[in-house]
């Protein structure tokens, strides 16, 4: 198995081949399962307050 090419500072990294579609589906499904509970959990009041601050115009 070939080692991935490491780029040096200032060099453009080597392009990696795209993932196989079946691997992408597998990863996507597992990530959705992993984060399903997190996405359905209620947002804390502290986090809501921080989000509200982001929505306010600066000035």
Q: What is the pLDDT of residues 3-56, one digit of tens each?
A: 556 666 766 667 788 899 999 999 999 999 999 988 889 989 999 999 999 988
> Per the confidence metrics, is the pTM higher than 0.75?
no
Domain that holds residue 42: 21-55
Residues 44, 45, 48, 54: is their CA dihedral positive or negative? negative
The reply to whether 36 falls in a domain is: yes
Report how many domains make up the chain: 1
The reply to whether 5 falls in a domain is: no
Between 35 and 59, residue with greater pLDDT: 35
Residue located via tokens 């997190």 = 38
The reply to whether 15 falls in a domain is: no
The reply to whether 44 falls in a domain is: yes
The reply to whether 3 falls in a domain is: no
The reply to whether 34 falls in a domain is: yes
The reply to whether 16 falls in a domain is: no
């Amino acid at each position: 198995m070939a080692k991935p090419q490491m780029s040096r500072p200032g060099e453009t990294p080597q392009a990696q081949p795209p993932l196989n579609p079946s691997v992408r589906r597998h990863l996507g499904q597992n990530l959705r399962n992993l984060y399903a509970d997190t996405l359905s959990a209620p947002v804390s009041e502290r986090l809501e307050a921080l989000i509200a601050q982001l929505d306010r115009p600066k000035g």
